[in-house]
Structure 1
Amino acid sequence: MTSTDTSDTSVLDDPVGESLRGRHAPLGRTLGRAAAYAQDVATFSAVPADPTAADWSDLARLLGPGAFADMFSCPALPPAGWEPVFVLEGRQMVWPDGGRPDPEPAATGPDVTELGKADVPEMLDLVALTRPGPFRPRTRELGTYLGVREGGRLVAMAGERLRPAGWTEISAVCVVPELRGRGHAGRLIGALVTRVLARGERPFLHVAEANTKAIALYERLGFASRKEVTFRGYTTP
């Protein structure tokens, strides 16, 4: 059990930086106050909430020239010379403080199983098919990933990603298109919520604002919107 005050949501303002300075430090790299995940783990980078020109310079050196800088929900904008790659509007959602998981009525079906290193090729294939967001060969090392199989085929997945103190992000929620609507996503999220709460932590997640079906599912499961966020990516000078 963690002693962190999970009623404090302020660490969620910089979930990438908080993770890289904490539990995910072994999976990342730093230079000065700039930080980034190892390239085969995740795309995300971070600078402090009050970045200086030196911080941006350190991040550029850390990533290398012409590299992709995925700044996730960082509100600070880089200096001139950083070329925009994408902008995506989204929201951050959190599990209620003290809330307990309440599985959906149709939460029956194939067993939910934990995915390991041997499952990575299938996980990458599922991500390529469904495009839930960034996922690399070592992303599963960020936390626990669960899956559902039908006929031996991996058809649904969800897992743990960013982990600021006291919190765990649920991410990579995906189901093959032909099997959506059968409750797989809800069952996987429910199983992850149960695990996170058992550790004395609170779940949170991020979702694109245009993904109204996912937002409706998350709200039905018990998540509530905390704030709007803007996801941005750049190419370094």
Structure 2
Amino acid sequence: MTDFSVLDDPAWHALTTHHAVLGQRNGAAARYRTELSPIGGLARYDAGAFAELRPLVASDEAVGLVSAQQVEVPADWELLQAVPVFQMVCEAPPALPELMPVPLTASDAAEALELATATEPGPFRAGTLGMGRYFGLRAADGRLMAMTGERMRLGQLTEVSAVCTWPEFRGRGLAKVLVAHVSALIAAEGRVPFLHVKTENAAAIALYEKLGFVVRRELTFTVVRPG
């Protein structure tokens, strides 16, 4: 039976298990390598854990923490934003769609970063493609119209992430195809897909619900940097 409790602090559990090789850890603090993602996690949310996070974060860098627990930011850290997000899980993903996306590789990193920067699906860096399997859909002229992939991996769970489409290609069902494709691949491995979406993004939430995702609980994505 899937242990969903680890999703209350997904980054911490990913970085101390399946994704330990992709990150750095110092005591009660861990984070993904800078080139991969600015996301980190803490074993507990107190001054001591933040002190152990400090050596892992450059003085001009911000780090994002995803947690069900209320984060009290110490005085020597600056709170940049605290965004409420729904965490959704899908225990019965749809079948693979007929339209098959193409895998994205390191050679697609610049194009993927351009798309993510323009549409802001969440933290994304050029190296993020190395965190899991990423897929895209291309126009007839070869342009990357939309993409989606895998990010955090922990327990029997894999996160669906970076769901984004250029504005001029929206309304074609591209995100539905991509999320269905990635979710089906995850389920085929005997794992459960999950994702995070801003609580205000009603359109995305409705799409995910159509694909079988349900809200597990509300979390907060807290962005901080050293003071």
For the criterion TM > 0.5, the same-fold answer is yes
- Alpha-carbon distance, 1:221 to partner: 0.9
Partner of 2:170: 180
Q: Does the CA-based 8 Å contact 2:46-2:72 persist in structure 1? A: no
Structure 1 residues 132, 52: closer, same or farther in 2, change over 3 A? Answer: closer
CA distance in 2, matches of 1:197, 1:135: 24
How many residue pairs end up in the alignment? Answer: 225
2:127 is the counterpart of 1:138:
yes
Structure 1 residues 204-219: aligned runs within 5 Å: 204-219=194-209
Question: Which ranges of structure 1 fall in alignment gaps of 5 or more residues?
Answer: none
CA distance in 2, matches of 1:45, 1:18: 10
Q: Does the CA-based 8 Å contact 1:175-1:184 persist in structure 2? A: yes
CA distance in 1, matches of 2:58, 2:169: 41
SS in 2 for 1:135: coil
- Alpha-carbon distance, 1:176 to partner: 1.1
TM-score by length of 2: 0.93
Q: 2:190 aligns with which of 197, 200, 211?
A: 200
One-letter amino acid of the structure 2 residue matched with residue 78 of structure 1: V
Q: Does the CA-based 8 Å contact 2:138-2:144 persist in structure 1? A: yes
Partner of 1:159: 149
- Higher strand fraction (1 or 2): 2
SS in 2 for 1:162: strand
Partner of 1:20: 15
2:94 is the counterpart of 1:101:
yes
CA distance in 2, matches of 1:120, 1:51: 34
Partner of 1:44: 39
2:55 is the counterpart of 1:61:
yes
SS in 2 for 1:170: strand
Partner of 2:6: 11
Q: Does the CA-based 8 Å contact 2:9-2:68 persist in structure 1? A: yes
CA distance in 1, matches of 2:46, 2:137: 45
Deviations 1:33-62 (A, max 9, x none): 2101111100111111x3443221111122
Q: Does the CA-based 8 Å contact 2:93-2:211 persist in structure 1? A: no
Q: Does the CA-based 8 Å contact 2:136-2:148 persist in structure 1? A: yes
Deviations 1:199-219 (A, max 9, x none): 110000000011111001001
- Alpha-carbon distance, 1:27 to partner: 1.1
SS in 2 for 1:17: helix
Deviations 1:105-154 (A, max 9, x none): xx665x41111111111101111221111111110111100100012110
2:212 is the counterpart of 1:233:
no
2:215 is the counterpart of 1:220:
no
**RMSD, aligned α-carbons:** 1.6
SS in 2 for 1:138: helix
Q: Does the CA-based 8 Å contact 2:8-2:219 persist in structure 1? A: no
Question: Which ranges of structure 2 fall in alignment gaps of 5 or more residues?
Answer: none
One-letter amino acid of the structure 2 residue matched with residue 40 of structure 1: E
TM-score by length of 1: 0.89
- Alpha-carbon distance, 1:66 to partner: 4.7
CA distance in 2, matches of 1:236, 1:64: 8
Deviates more, 1:33-42 or 1:53-62: 53-62
Q: Does the CA-based 8 Å contact 1:68-1:235 persist in structure 2? A: yes
